[in-house]
Structures are given as structure tokens and as C-alpha cells.
Amino acid sequence: MKTDSATDLIELFSSLQGEGAYLGYRQIFLRLPGCNLQCSYCDTALLAPERCRIETEPGSGLFREIPQPVTLSRVCDLAEAWCSELPGAHHSFSITGGEPLLHGELLAVWLPRLREILPVHLETNGTLSDALPLLLPLVDHISMDIKLPSSTGLPPLWEQHRRFLELAGEANLAVKVIVGEATTDQELLIACDLVSEADAGIPLIIQPVTGHGGRVTVAPSRLLHWQALAASLVREVRVIPQTHRMLGVA
């Protein structure tokens, strides 16, 4: 694969991280297409559009469209310009999707160059462990989801998550579970057991399904109950909704 390889992207923009362990940090979001799952709550465009959306100015919320595929050099030129324009403002790249680990071979080429600009934060659904050995040396932070059947509408994925945690446990890793009104104590305990088996020190984020405008439908009493339940197995447990929906940012 050539150094200046190209691929279809969904979008590239600068915004605040709205969820997980790096909540509130400003990142450059690089969104890749495609996903191996179909979670019931997902509202992210997963198919590669005919043209990629690129923010016109970092944080403006205004976009222009450019032809696909997009080259690595173009992404780097934009990111370097944004970092020069706003020195010190960005914490990292957020490599997100969809599911970015579907693009493992591409990321093996892209990430070393991106890391020359900013650290790399990988957001993943935690099921594609085969891609990890190639990429673990190239990422600085991993945000992994554990998918609960009640909130995703999917069959249980416990074994896929276990394999992922076995490989990623030594990385700078945080785990997120999305909970909703149908979430059960039993499935949350299974998720906590998986994390504890890998490393009880891995931070665990309990994220209630958050509607547009920041509305959380799960009762505070249930969230407090789940936090206490998880804290009996995992040392660091936080409850964090999707704050970017509250702030109205991308």
C-alpha cells in the first residue's frame, strides 16, 4: 500500500468528545464507513457517501463536500492547518465510525503519520479482536464498547468482547456500556465480570441512552443502582450521558 493511500471517508471535523473517558476533550474526528453490527439505537450514517464532508473551519459546524476517495496527505494537511490555527486546542484524533477496525490494514498505514500530528484515540465496538495485534502499537487510547443485548437488540457478544479485552487489556483502555430502560442487572454484571477478569482497574463508563436535546429516559435511581452494582466489581465506575447532544455539537 502506498504511503499516500486513499480511502472513502464519511467526515472529518473538530469538536468536543461527548462521551466516555475523554469527555470534554477537543478532538479531530475522522469517521470511517461501515460497521459489522446493527445496534438498534445507532443513528450514525454508516455507508460511505459519494462525497466526503469536511469542516470548513475547525469547530464551525459548516461543511463542504470533496470527492472520494480522500488521501492521507489531504487529511494530514487539514489536521496540521487546524492545529496551527488553534495551537494546543486538540487533545487527539478520534478514529471512529461505524467500526474503524474494519479498516485495519488501512489504519496500519495511516496511524503512524497521524500520530506525528496528534495522539490517536480509537473508538470501537470491541468485537473485532483480530485487527488489534497490528494496531495496538499505533494507538494511544482505546474506547471500547461492551454491547448489552437489551440496548442493542443484538444477540449476546460476550465471547467477542472477552477476546478483545484479553488483547487490549494492557492498552490505555476504557470501556463503555450503553444502558436503557430494558437493561437488566444480570447483563450489566456479566459486562463487569468481563472487565474485572481482564483488569479491575480499567475505567468503566455507564452511558444511558441519550436523546437529542440531552433527554435521558433512565431514572436516576436505576443509574445509581447500576453504578453501585458495577463498583462492586470494577474500581473506577462513572455514569456519563452523551453530553454532545446536550451541547448541540457534532
- Please report, for the chain, the start and end positions of each structural domain, with discontinuous segments joined by +: 6-247
Is position 145 annotated in a ligand binding site?
A: no
CB of 25 closer than 8 Å to CB of 244: no
76 marked among binding-site residues: no
Q: What is the pLDDT of residue 246?
A: 65
Task: Say how far apart CA 134 and CA 107 lie, in whole Å.
Answer: 9
CA distances, 206 to each of 19, 115, 127, 193, 227 (Å):
10, 29, 18, 14, 7
Does 44 appear as a known binding residue?
yes
192 assigned binding-site residue:
no
Question: What pLDDT sits at residue 245?
Answer: 62
Residues 131-168 have pLDDT tens digits of 999 999 999 999 999 999 998 888 999 999 999 999 99
According to DSSP, the β-strands at 51-55 and 63-67 are antiparallel
CATH 2.30.30.230 fits 6-247, yes or no: no
Q: What is the pLDDT of residues 161-201, one digit of tens each?
A: 999 999 997 789 999 999 999 999 999 999 999 999 999 99
**Strand partners for 143:** 123, 174
52 is in an annotated binding site: no
Where does the chain show beta strands of DSSP type E?
A: 6-7, 11-16, 26-31, 51-55, 63-67, 70-71, 92-96, 120-124, 141-146, 173-179, 204-208, 237-239
Would the annotation count 184 as a binding residue? no
Asked if residue 41 belongs to a known ligand binding site, the reply is yes
Q: What is the mean pLDDT of residues 102-115?
A: 97
